[in-house]
Chains A and B, each alone.
Chain A
Amino acid sequence: MKQLSRYRRHKAAGPLLLICALLTIGTTFSVASATVKQSQTTFARSASIEEGKQIFLKGCSSCHGLNAEGGAIAPSLIGVGAASVDFQVGTGRMPMADMSTQAVRKAPVYNEDETAALASYVASLAPGPAIPEESALNYERDGNSAQGGELFRNNCAMCHNFAGQGGALTQGKYAPTLMGVEPKHIYEAMITGPQSMPVFSDKTITPAEKLALIKWIKAAEAEPNLGGATMGRIGPVTEGLLVWVLGIGLLIGIAVWLTTRAR
């Protein structure tokens, strides 16, 4: 303890302590909220269609129409299924913040409870893709990472980039990054085809293949940076930038030092 107190007045002590405190609070909070979420999920299953309809009328109907029949600026939701609602609302894309190019991922507006209610309401309008059961999402057990990688490069990499970092589409639209996306949402996106993304039917990419895909994405997410800092995993552009800024910059700096006279 004596040794520790020696560093008490060190100038880094303050910030370090602050970081430790924040980390502790953050961890405690996230553990606590996780337990809360779990208890909510069970409750959410029983959420009524009526409750969802009320939320819909308040939050969605101004664009999607009173009966979800769609409007001038928003598509019909009849037949999109519960999976679509769970994806769009669960990732915060809906309700949309601004109507410009595309719906962006943000903190969800509705909690899981309300999302589930909305989903069951929309699902009640017409049959559509259902939210995948948690038991069907055991990608760790059922997936094959190498097969997933091949599927990914064939079906996903052209938009989401070779490492799932996202990429550009036309007219300012873009395919978002897949890092940090919940497996459930990845699955839902594939079966519903949100926004620019096409649908990947269960018949052409089987559920087992979808799990393989998710396993590969999750492995890419967790993969350590094997060769050093990755600079975004977006290919040679950042590498070229680094060569000029750090490489040539550093060497010119040393050349200047080398050629100035010592005093």
Chain B
Amino acid sequence: MTSVEKRIGTAANFVDERLGAAGWVKKSLNKVFPDHWSFMLGEVCMYSFIILLLSGTFLTFWFDPSQRDVIYNGAYEPLKGLKMSAAYASTLDISFEVRGGLLMRQIHHWAANIFMAAIVAHLLRVFFTGAFRKPREFNWILGILLLTLGLVEGLFGYSLPDDLLSGTGLRITSAIIQAVPVVGTYITFFLFGGAFPGVGFIPRIFTLHILIIPGIFLAVITIHVMLVWYQKHTQFPGVGRTETNVVGHPILPVYMAKAGGFFFVVFGVTAFISAVASINPIWLYGPYTPGQISAGSQPDWYMGWLDGLVRMAPPLETHAFGHTISWNILIPAIIVPGIIFTSMALYPFIESWITGDKREHHLLDRPRNVPNRTALGVMSITFVLVALINGGNDILATNFDLSINQIMWFSRIGIFVLPPLAFIITKRLCLSLQRADRELLLHGTETGRLLRLPHGEFVEVHAPISPEKAFILQSHEQLVPLEIEDVDGRGVRRPGALKNKLQRRLSKAHAVSVPKVSEQELKEIEHH
């Protein structure tokens, strides 16, 4: 035994005699994680979060979250002598007087953007592969919670510097809260500490941004990851992979080295982008005052789709009995997002109701094999993209010689027409991919070699595919519609006929798929 091993042994003994952790740790170190690039997206989220904690802490050492007026007298010449809030002035100081401060600010902001992008990418992966199905519905809901929290945390974060752009964002935020019937005006005055922009909002969102929300984040992320650990990771179908096992590399040493290394990679990439690309150049925006505005005032991309929805809303207000209800704000900024996030959170239960499938699932779907779900996903992406395009309509207009009015009308119509179109196209695409799989299974791949048969006909030689690939191509389940009778066995009408009808219809639509290759067909092929 070497001296190193001896020392480790002593330490391990010390811990185990007090915690009795050997059994659990031994089991954990043999925990298996399957390999697939898309399984790393969740890790990008977690690592960006750690980067955000580190860089954010650095920024708090200098940031002064106050709306108190100061006269700027720092290093940045074009703003010298101007009245501004202490929050804005201290952000300028971080950028120009603290060495590496601007870099840290940019790391923090880029990491936030990467965090949100990775959350979205991770969510799409989980959705399209059906990883949210039983028993992972809780984790899906936690994920939606993290996404929603991320939106709020991001909005608060980029609002803190109190520059002209973020102030404009807060102006819009306050108008949204103010539009809430009955209590809106009061809530705005309480939140902002008076009439907009008030005196209290920056310090208050600072506390939320650096303490409360990160605290909730930390707790939810911990549960999220612990559930993945406890429930074990899903895996793609393949030879040797079943619903009752998980195949991959153990934590020690391979996974630990790879995942640990990947943290440094994510941090390195974020630092690289922050070194070469500017983000949120607040010194160019100027300090916030409500009387000023810049052309092309946009939120960060993850709020951009909401802004796009607000832009395309119809000019509707109800004026009655001395009160005003702003539908042009409530619908795009509160009602539609509310419906979207709620149905997203409930989707696992909706799908299991439609399919009647209450079993556990640990093998992932190939998106083409569940055409309805995949089409629904692409439809949602299309919806958000149309809204996002409209959110940047002025930037698009100037850069591509278009008119904002054209883009607005395109989005107003497109938001209704394009998502259903995307649904239909995706569903058909999935079905033809299924057909292609079937062809591949039955006839193998085209080799490009031509063969002349004795009677003069030319045929292309097909090579059979590998057994591993063949296994994957027919590992999925044939979707079958639910059989729901309106009358039960004794001829009595069941309650909820309308609900049954809806379920039957949805189930039928969900189960549309190409028939799988049967055993007989496969045997016939082998005889050829």
Contacts and interface: CB of A to CB of B under 8 A. Distances in A.
Asked if chains A and B are in direct contact (CB within 8 A), the reply is: yes
Interface of A: 101, 145-146, 149-150, 153-154, 157-163, 166-168, 170-175, 216, 219-220, 223, 225-231, 233-244, 246-248, 250-252, 254-256, 258-259
A236 B403 contact: no
B270 to A, nearest CB: 8
A167 B394 contact: yes
B294 A251 contact: no
B274 interface: yes
Given A243-B117, A243-B301, A227 B295 contact: no
B78 A231 contact: no
Question: Mostly helix, strand, loop or mixed at chain B's interface?
Answer: helix
Contacts, number: 198
Contacts of B284: 162-163, 220, 233
B291 A251 contact: no
Given A157-B164, A223-B78, A231-B277, 7 more contacts: A145-B77, A174-B398, A226-B96, A239-B277, A243-B117, A247-B110, A259-B36
Contacts of A234: 296, 395
Residue among A158, A238, A255 with the highest chain B CB neighbour number at 10 A: A255
Contacts of A241: 301
Given A153-B286, A168-B404, A240 B304 contact: yes
Nearest to B259: A258
Given A172-B403, A248-B117, A258-B262, A236 B304 contact: yes
B278 A158 contact: no
Interface string B30-43: 00000111111100
Nearest to A253: B37
A249 B404 CA distance: 30
Contacts of B165: 162, 235-236
Nearest to B295: A167
B28 interface: no
Contact of A228 (B106, B118, B402): B106
Contact of A251 (B266, B274, B297): B266
A228 B117 contact: no
B295 A160 contact: yes
A158 B79 contact: no
15 contacts: A146-B81, A167-B296, A226-B96, A226-B281, A226-B283, A227-B95, A227-B278, A231-B278, A234-B395, A235-B294, A236-B280, A239-B300, A254-B265, A258-B37, A259-B35
B180 to A, nearest CB: 26
Nearest to B406: A172
A170 B405 contact: yes
B294 A158 contact: yes
Nearest to A150: B82
Given A168-B398, A235-B395, A247-B113, A153 B36 contact: no
Contacts of B106: 227-228
A247 B117 contact: yes
Nearest to B118: A248
A211 B268 CA distance: 45
Nearest to A147: B81
B80 interface: yes
A153 B167 CA distance: 13
B128 to A, nearest CB: 15
The 5 A-B residue pairs with the shortest CB-CB distance in the complex, in nearest-first order:
A167-B295, A240-B301, A172-B403, A227-B278, A255-B40
A9 B264 CA distance: 41
A158 to B, nearest CB: 5
Nearest to B403: A172
A200 B171 CA distance: 27
A162 B286 contact: yes
A169 to B, nearest CB: 8
B121 A236 contact: no
